[in-house]
Structure 1
Amino acid sequence: MDRATGEFEQFEIREPTCQTIPFVYNSPHSGRCYPTAFLADSRLDSVAIRRSADHYVDELFAPAPELGAPLLAANFPRAYLDVNREPYELDPKMFDGPLPSFANISSLRVAGGLGTIPRIVAENMEIYRRRLSVEEGLARIERIYKPYHTALRRLIARTHARFGTSILIDCHSMPGNIRLSGSDIRPDFIIGDRYGTSASADLSRAAICILSELGFTAVRNKPYAGGFITEHYGRPTRGLHALQIEINRALYVDEVTLEKRRDFEAVAGNLFTFMRQLAEVADELAGTTALAAE
Structure 2
Amino acid sequence: MPGEMRTFEIFEILEPLSQTIPFVYSSPHSGRVYPPDFIAQSRLEGAAIRRSEDHYVDELFSAAADLGAPLLFANFPRAYIDVNREPYELDPRMFDGALPAYANINSIRVAGGLGTIPRIVAENMEIYARRVPVEDALKRIDEIYKPYHAALRGLIARTHVKFGFGVLIDCHSMPGNIRVSGSNIRPDFIIGDRYGTSASTDLSRFAMHILEEMGFTAVRNKPYAGGFITEHYGRPARGLHALQIEVNRSLYIDEATLQKRPDFDVVAGAITAFMRQMADYVEKFAGDTALAAE
Equivalence for 1:97: 97
How far apart are 1:62 and its partner, in Å? 0.3
CA distance in 2, matches of 1:266, 1:277: 17
Greater shift after overlay, 281-290 or 170-179? 281-290
Equivalence for 2:39: 39
Equivalenced residue count is 292
CA distance in 2, matches of 1:124, 1:226: 21
Equivalence for 1:227: 227
CA distance in 2, matches of 1:4, 1:156: 33
Q: Which one-letter code corresponds to 2:215 in the other structure? A: G
Tell me if 1:281 matches 2:273. no
- Contact 2:90/2:110 (CA < 8 Å) preserved in 1? yes
- Contact 2:208/2:220 (CA < 8 Å) preserved in 1? yes
Q: How does 1:31-70 map to 2 (within 5 A)?
A: 31-70=31-70
Tell me if 1:151 matches 2:166. no
Equivalence for 2:243: 243
CA distance in 2, matches of 1:205, 1:161: 26
Equivalence for 2:195: 195
Greater shift after overlay, 154-163 or 4-13? 4-13
Distance 1:292 1:100, change over 3 A: same
How far apart are 1:5 and its partner, in Å? 6.5
Tell me if 1:25 matches 2:50. no
CA distance in 2, matches of 1:7, 1:101: 31
SS for the counterpart of 2:40 is helix
- Contact 2:5/2:34 (CA < 8 Å) preserved in 1? no
Gaps of 5+ in 1: none
Q: Which one-letter code corresponds to 2:101 in the other structure? A: S
SS for the counterpart of 2:222 is coil
Q: Which one-letter code corresponds to 1:143 in the other structure? A: E
How far apart are 1:4 and its partner, in Å? 9.2
How far apart are 1:293 and its partner, in Å? 5.7
SS for the counterpart of 2:173 is strand
SS for the counterpart of 2:271 is helix
Q: Which one-letter code corresponds to 1:51 in the other structure? A: R
CA distance in 1, matches of 2:164, 2:50: 39
Equivalence for 2:264: 264
SS for the counterpart of 1:16 is coil
User: How far does the alpha carbon of each residue in 1:55-80 deviate from its partner, in whole angstroms, 9 at most, with x for none?
Assistant: 00000000000000000000000000
SS for the counterpart of 1:26 is strand
Distance 1:293 1:221, change over 3 A: farther
How far apart are 1:264 and its partner, in Å? 0.5
Equivalence for 2:183: 183
Percent identity of paired positions between Structure 1 and Structure 2: 74
Q: Which one-letter code corresponds to 2:64 in the other structure? A: A
User: How far does the alpha carbon of each residue in 1:121-145 deviate from its partner, in whole angstroms, 9 at most, with x for none?
Assistant: 0011000111111111000000000
How far apart are 1:287 and its partner, in Å? 3.0
User: How far does the alpha carbon of each residue in 1:26-77 deviate from its partner, in whole angstroms, 9 at most, with x for none?
Assistant: 0000001000110111111110000011000000000000000000000000
RMSD: 1.2
User: How far does the alpha carbon of each residue in 1:60-103 deviate from its partner, in whole angstroms, 9 at most, with x for none?
Assistant: 00000000000000000000000000000001011011111000
Greater shift after overlay, 162-171 or 254-263? 254-263
What TM-score, normalized to structure 1?
A: 0.97
How far apart are 1:288 and its partner, in Å? 2.9
CA distance in 1, matches of 2:53, 2:4: 25
CA distance in 2, matches of 1:5, 1:264: 26
- Contact 2:23/2:169 (CA < 8 Å) preserved in 1? yes
CA distance in 2, matches of 1:288, 1:145: 35
SS for the counterpart of 1:47 is helix
CA distance in 1, matches of 2:178, 2:248: 8
CA distance in 2, matches of 1:14, 1:250: 26
Q: Which one-letter code corresponds to 1:270 in the other structure? A: A
Tell me if 1:71 matches 2:71. yes
